[in-house]
Amino acid sequence: MQRWQAFDQAFGSQPHLVCYAVKTNSNLAVLQTLAKLGAGFDIVSGGELARVLRAGGDPGKVVFSGVGKTESEMRFALHMGIKCFNIESEAELYRLEAIAQELATPAAISIRVNPDVDPKTHAYISTGLKENKFGVSFEQALPLYRYAFASEHLVVHGIDCHIGSQLLSLAPLEEAAKRVIDFQAKLTNEGIGLHHIDMGGGLGIDYQPQDNAPTPEAYVKALCAAINQPEIEILIEPGRSIIGNNGILVTKVEYLKNNQDKQFMIVDAAMNDLIRPALYDAWQDIVEVTQIPEAKTNNVDVVGPVCETGDFLGKTRNLAAQPGDYLAILSAGAYGFVMSSNYNTRPRAAEIMVDGADKHYCVRARETLDDLMRGETLITD
């Protein structure tokens, strides 16, 4: 978890909280490791809050994002005393106010603004453009802040934004920070002071060397410089950049298959285990677990057993592996297991946490078929 510490330390004397985005990899042992370091957490559901609590995380360091918070999720989070609700719409603000009144517990809020900056990343993971469903425009945010400021049941705490994921350039983030700061000045003029500025997550990682992702230090430096308020608390919500390159997916080669012009390496992992290649056309490196120098390679598509043409893990790769050998799909620590499913009635993978060279723990057992069918019933009449 050196990457979390790198973010944390880079802030120096600036008040800050590094809130790990739980959605990225929510295994309890991962959350526990971060909680022990003093991490904050960015959650998007009541389920994620339950995980944070079970892992020993401090609810007072939790921020709650997401456009569709239900009443029961709001009650749960308010009852547990989370740090802040990141509000994404007018309707959500009113709903939270009513719940805060009902529980007689004022709710700390931040409005998620959509700074309309192009993060230059894949369309499905870009969130800060005005056509995206996230946040509200600055024009819409102003009356919401006025309303919240005047409400007995809401406490204005901060402002937040998140412009997208897998960002490989700092410029869009700096631009977003600049727009947020300009807006903050308008709030200050109206006597609405903010305790924190939350710039979301988004820092990318190297899936391949040429990605050349900025370091956590460079990212934090750029944010602090753009915000330029040494007293204010800065929150960030990194996910992928903390955990992405800490995980691999290990899979066994089942068959090699030749279809005239194309060669396939059929492995026992599939799109249900790692959906990023199928969903975003994402490229993740694939290497042999045991590498034999100068072994003859084949140019193959690495595919799984799922009955979909989109079921591939990598295309046109040069690999020497033979049936029975193992492959590692790299950079699978973020948005890997958490996005997996049981499609084709495939039990999901076990998760192993490795600590240094000599310690490892099975932190999630492989699923059984009974696990998959639990809760289903036959009709008996």
Give me the residues that bind ligand LLP (CB under 6 A), please.
21, 24, 42, 65, 125, 127, 162, 165-166, 200-203, 237-241, 276, 280, 335
Three-state DSSP at 150 gives: helix
For the CB of residue 361, give the shortest distance to ligand LLP in the complex, in Å.
24
Residues 6 or more apart whose Cβ sits within 8 Å of residue 268: 251, 252, 254, 304, 305
The tokens describing 268, both together, are 């026992």
Nearer to ligand LLP by Cβ, of 122 and 221: the residue is: 122
For the CB of residue 299, give the shortest distance to ligand LLP in the complex, in Å.
26
Neighbours of 165 (CB within 10 A): 26
Residues constituting the chain: 381
Q: Residue 190's closest CA among 154, 152, 143, 229?
A: 143
For residues 302 and 35, give the distance between their C-alpha atoms in angstroms, rounded to a whole number.
Answer: 37
Nearer to ligand LLP by Cβ, of 76 and 335: the residue is: 335
The DSSP bridge partners found for residue 303 are 266, 312
The tokens describing 298, both together, are 């084949």
For residues 239 and 24, give the distance between their C-alpha atoms in angstroms, rounded to a whole number.
Answer: 5
Residues 6 or more apart whose Cβ sits within 8 Å of residue 376: none
Catalytic residue among 19, 84, 161, 307, which? 307
For the CB of residue 280, give the shortest distance to ligand LLP in the complex, in Å.
6
Residues 6 or more apart whose Cβ sits within 8 Å of residue 55: 28, 29, 31, 32, 35
Strand order in the sheet with 326-329: 286-288, 326-329, 249-259, 262-267, 298-303, 312-319
Eight-class DSSP state of 211 = G
Any catalytic annotation for residue 307? yes
For the CB of residue 200, give the shortest distance to ligand LLP in the complex, in Å.
5
Nearer to ligand LLP by Cβ, of 175 and 237: the residue is: 237
Contact between residue 168 and residue 126 where contact means Cβ atoms under 8 Å apart: no
For the CB of residue 82, give the shortest distance to ligand LLP in the complex, in Å.
15
For the CB of residue 290, give the shortest distance to ligand LLP in the complex, in Å.
28
For the CB of residue 134, give the shortest distance to ligand LLP in the complex, in Å.
7
Residue with the closest Cβ to ligand LLP?
A: 201
How far is C-alpha 223 from the geometric centre of its chain's CA atoms?
19
Nearer to ligand LLP by Cβ, of 224 and 300: the residue is: 224
Q: Residue 31: what are its φ and ψ, rounded to 5°?
A: -65, -40
For residues 44 and 120, give the distance between their C-alpha atoms in angstroms, rounded to a whole number.
Answer: 24
Active-site residue numbers?
A: 307
